[in-house]
Amino acid sequence: MPRKWWTLLAVCTGVFMLLLDITIVNVALPDIQHAFKASLSDLQWVIDAYALSLAALLLTAGSIADLAGRRLVFAVGIVVFTVGSTLCGLAGDATFLSLSRALQGIGGAIMFATSLALLADAFEPRERGTAFGVFGAVTGIAVAVGPVIGGAITSGLSWRWIFFVNVPIGILALVVTLVRVRESRAPVARRPDWLGFVTFTGALTALVFGLIRSHPDGWGSKTVVGSLVTAGLLLGVFLVVETRSRAPMLDLGLLRVPTFNGGLIAAFAISASIFSLLTYIVLYLQGVLGYSAIQTGLRLLPLTLAIFVTAGIAGRLSSRVPVRWLIGPGFALVAVALLLMRGLSAGDSWTYLLPGMILAGAGVGLVNTPLASTAVGVVEPARAGMASGINSTLRQVGIATGVATLGSVLASRVHSSVLGHLSTGPLAAHAHSLASAVGDGRAAQAVRSTPAPLRGVVGHAARAGFVEGLATIILIAAIVAALAAFAAVALIRRRDFVGAETGKTPALDAAAA
């Protein structure tokens, strides 16, 4: 088999793993919570540690690869990701798991940042469309099948095997990379912007830490206020650094292009709304309705299939319809879908969510594919890598901040709702402690600690409280999607695309999504 196809195999295998681990973990969260007696904050960190390190290192990893060699750096990424996966499977507590997830994210960022450059070097220009098309299909499949695979492994074996399964796959990808992939470097490479990397990482970490601690510590606590102030100061320093750097990781000049800003808002919003919300829909399906991990994964399949099908339609429409009239209406569909789901009550079955999930999936499909062309289409080819990397970074920032914010709001709303249900009954004396336990994600423990005759009362209050909290964060996600719809229509303009004056805008690169 020609070397180029081995390169495609290695790249697709590595990226399939890292994207699969974005969604595969969600359905295992209740089992992880049970195994470690973890709080909701612990679960938030399991998701956010991965997203944070992926977002922080994505742009810097590309610069390192251009200097040191893309094959070498990609191989290092595989090793780091595989070691991180092994440590995740061996984790003995939630903190160790979160740290191992961060290591996974570092490896994932290295692989993702290097993947397109490896393909571009291996394939002639006329063949790159085919290679990128296969790459885009693999990324779509990884996202679509993640919940089902995660559910099957968790239910059939253990949640630990959703990480252990990466080990043989990682070894295979590493061998193919070292033996069959050609080394390449950028003709003119930029040195990594280390000061920008440190300040950006610090700002994002402080922001997420403050958001996650807002429920247990309170918004006015020194921890939360100090974290948020630190995040703001570090972000300011980052912007100053980027304006003075000879080779910035973020070219602030791009922010003067309205379409580029519209793409960044869309990238952030799609992750901060529906994708962040999925974490808590999984907790509802398993923790409240009692479904197993595989049953939960199958119930999420209509959403992911709708994304997959609609993305193909959007890809064909992108050459005929202005992208803002795909991205804007796509977000509008997501907002409407979430409002449909918001009417959920404590007595409803999961099927109440089904129409909303299908409609939301259709909306996401309309957004994802044209968003890829928006990310790279407003810059000349020499800066396409940076533009795509920034867009991908904002997706991960959206996940990190969305999971943190929605989780904290959910916990607070559940606490107040459960307190309201129990404060006037036979459990009034214990209402505060029970509400705190339920709001912190320990509903089962709260029920078990209650005398048997009153467990039904606590169980009903916990279910009703979670549904009320879920309705609140669904509304927040819907507002984010609606605002993104307006921003996309207002900011994304055809004339901002490179080549628009000749009517030849850059071809859609689905792999940049």
pLDDT at 8: 84
- Residue 131, pLDDT score: 73
- How does pLDDT run across 258-275, given as a tens digit for each residue? 888 898 899 899 989 998
pLDDT in tens, 475-509: 999 999 999 999 999 998 887 676 655 444 444 33
| pLDDT for 507 | 41
Distance spanning both ends of the chain, measured CA to CA: 28
220: alpha, beta or left? (left if phi > 0; alpha if psi -120 to 50): alpha
Q: Are 174 and 75 in contact (CB under 8 A)?
A: yes
Asked whether 463 and 288 are in contact (CB, 8 A), the reply is yes
What does the pLDDT read at residue 502?
44
Domain 1-192 is classified in which CATH homologous superfamily?
MFS general substrate transporter like domains (1.20.1250.20)
* Residue-level pLDDT at 510: 35
Between CA 304 and CA 477 the distance in angstroms is 18
The three-class DSSP label of residue 419 is helix
Distances (CA, A) of 281 to 8, 31, 240, 286, 449: 35, 15, 40, 9, 26
**Residue 421: its pLDDT value, please?**
63
Residues near 47 by beta carbon (within 8 Å), at least 6 away in sequence: 25, 26, 29, 279, 399, 403
CA dihedral defined by 42, 47, 48, 50, rounded to 10 degrees? 120
Q: With the C-alpha atoms ordered 171, 174, 175, 180, is the resulting torsion angle positive or negative?
A: positive
Question: CA dist 395 to 199, 272, 327, 400, 449, Å?
Answer: 19, 8, 15, 9, 41
pTM (two decimals)? 0.84
Closest CA to 304 of 61, 43, 27: 27
**Measured between alpha carbons, how far is residue 62 from residues 12, 81, 132, 402 in Å?**
17, 16, 18, 26
Mean pLDDT of the chain: 81
- Rounded to an integer, what distance in angstroms lies between the CA atom of residue 296 and that of residue 88? 22
CA atoms within 13 A on the CB side of 496: 24
In what helix (H) or strand (E) does residue 191 lie, and over which residues does it extend?
none
**In order along the chain (513 residues), what is the average pLDDT of each group of 10 residues?**
81 83 82 84 87 85 79 90 94 92 91 78 71 70 78 87 91 89 70 84 88 80 90 91 81 82 90 89 84 86 85 77 87 94 84 92 85 71 68 84 88 76 62 63 60 62 81 94 93 74 43 34
Inter-CA distances, 373 with 251, 313, 494, Å? 18, 15, 11
pLDDT at 97: 94
d(CA 258, CA 309): 29
pLDDT at 435: 66
Residue partners of 422: CB distance under 8 A and separation at least 6? 428, 430, 431, 434, 435, 457, 458, 461
State how far the Cα of 277 lies from the Cα of 297, in Å rounded to an integer: 15
- For position 88, what pLDDT does the model report? 93
Rounded to 5 degrees, φ, ψ at 507 are -65, 150
* Domain locations along the chain: 1-192, 193-248
pLDDT at 457: 65
SS (H, E, C) 64-97: HHHHHCHHHHHHHHHHHHHHHHHHHHHCCCHHHH
